């Protein structure tokens, strides 16, 4: 059973979500504004692991969803966040990812899609926690991609950390998962569709722009010049290719 926090001020929508998540076997808490969400996730009596995922609406009274996500990440609270954005506002999607959301869904959404997205985030989290637990007592030969170093950068998948030039950057769950997928396929072209399937666990026809936004963010972390990437290359019309050690020019 997972603990899910819903942050949504539209009571009927929050209730419907709660009802359906509970029917799926999750335990659910609902709050109607960002301040209360931050209190539950970061307040003095908050337990860092009290929630396994947060469904966070952007449009909230007081602090909006972007501000809430940004405060969570600034406080090193990396609970997976599924952000609900307004349809037809792609700038919100970018803003959402920039503030630290792991995934987004435009409103109005189909409930099965939301459940699938949330399930994807929860699966990843569980998987990550298992890999954290197993990295404390590593089984021989089971160390694949716990950490990966390339070109002066090191990614620690257990801690979700990227170390570059003496700086440590905290990655969100899905940033780390996307990097892991690209690294596994080093040198090969990976399509957006396969990324959606393998990383997000989504098989339905979905907007792939989310992936492009993630790539933009990852480039900011790992490229010397994000405008001229040498590690995360775009393959026009298809997807992306990761190159660990670019040839010297």
Q: Does 92 bind Ca ion (CB under 5 A)?
A: no
**Binding piece for Ca ion, criterion CB under 5 A, among 9-17, 46-54, 166-174, 210-218:** 9-17
Q: Does 57 bind Ca ion (CB under 5 A)?
A: yes
Nearer to Ca ion among residue 55 and residue 202 (C-beta): 55
- Which one, of 32, 30, 29, lies nearest residue 9 by Cα? 32
CB of 96 vs Ca ion, minimal distance in Å: 14
**Binding piece for Ca ion, criterion CB under 5 A, among 36-44, 46-54, 55-63, 64-72:** 55-63
Nearer to Ca ion among residue 10 and residue 161 (C-beta): 10
Nearer to Ca ion among residue 68 and residue 232 (C-beta): 68
CB of 9 vs Ca ion, minimal distance in Å: 5
Burial class (CB in 10 A: 0-12, 13-18, 19+), 52: buried
CB of 84 vs Ca ion, minimal distance in Å: 8
**Binding piece for Ca ion, criterion CB under 5 A, among 7-15, 62-70, 107-115, 198-206:** 7-15
Looking at beta carbons, which pairs linking 185-193 to residues 24 or more positions away fall under 8 Å? 185/242, 186/242, 186/243, 186/244, 187/241, 187/242, 187/243, 188/241, 189/235, 189/238, 189/239, 189/240, 189/241, 190/239, 190/240, 190/241, 190/242, 191/238, 191/239, 192/238, 192/239, 192/240, 193/239
**How many residues lie near Ca ion (CB under 5 A)?**
4
Q: How is residue 32 annotated by DSSP?
A: S
CB of 113 vs Ca ion, minimal distance in Å: 18
What CA–CA distances, in Å, run from 42 to 28, 87, 108, 228?
18, 29, 29, 38
Nearer to Ca ion among residue 64 and residue 175 (C-beta): 64
CB of 57 vs Ca ion, minimal distance in Å: 4
Three-state DSSP at 20 gives helix
Angle formed at CA 124 by CA 168 and CA 173, multiple of 5 degrees: 20
Q: Does 9 bind Ca ion (CB under 5 A)?
A: yes
Q: Are 86 and 107 in contact (CB under 8 A)?
A: yes
**Binding piece for Ca ion, criterion CB under 5 A, among 18-26, 53-61, 113-121, 163-171:** 53-61
Binder of Ca ion out of 42, 46, 59, 216 (CB under 5 A): 59
d(CA 191, CA 160): 24
CB of 36 vs Ca ion, minimal distance in Å: 14
Which tokens belong to 225?
A: 């010049």
CB of 30 vs Ca ion, minimal distance in Å: 12
Residues in contact with Ca ion by CB under 5 A are 9-10, 57, 59
């Amino acid at each position: 059973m997972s603990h899910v926090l819903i942050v949504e001020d539209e009571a009927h929508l929050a209730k419907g979500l709660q009802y359906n998540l509970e029917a799926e076997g999750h335990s659910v808490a609902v709050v109607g504004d960002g301040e209360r969400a931050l209190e539950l996730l970061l307040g003095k009596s908050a337990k860092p692991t009290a929630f396994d995922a947060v469904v966070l609406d952007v449009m909230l009274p007081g602090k909006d969803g972007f501000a809430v996500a940004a405060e969570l990440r600034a406080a090193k609270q990396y609970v997976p966040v599924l952000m609900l954005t307004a349809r037809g506002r792609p700038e919100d999607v970018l803003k959402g990812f920039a503030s630290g959301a792991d995934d987004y869904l435009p409103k109005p959404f189909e409930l099965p899609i939301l459940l699938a997205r949330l399930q994807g985030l929860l699966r990843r989290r569980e998987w990550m926690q298992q890999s954290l637990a197993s990295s404390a007592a590593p089984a021989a030969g089971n160390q694949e991609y716990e950490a990966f170093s390339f070109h002066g950068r090191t990614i620690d998948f257990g801690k979700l950390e990227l170390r570059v030039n003496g700086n440590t950057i905290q990655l969100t769950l899905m940033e780390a998962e996307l990097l892991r997928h690209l690294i596994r396929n080093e040198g090969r072209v990976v399509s957006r569709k396969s990324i959606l399937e393998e990383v997000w666990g989504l098989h339905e026809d979905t907007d792939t722009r989310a992936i492009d936004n993630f790539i933009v963010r990852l480039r900011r972390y790992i490229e010397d010049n994000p405008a001229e990437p040498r590690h995360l290359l775009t393959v026009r019309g298809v997807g992306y290719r990761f190159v660990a050690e670019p040839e010297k020019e």
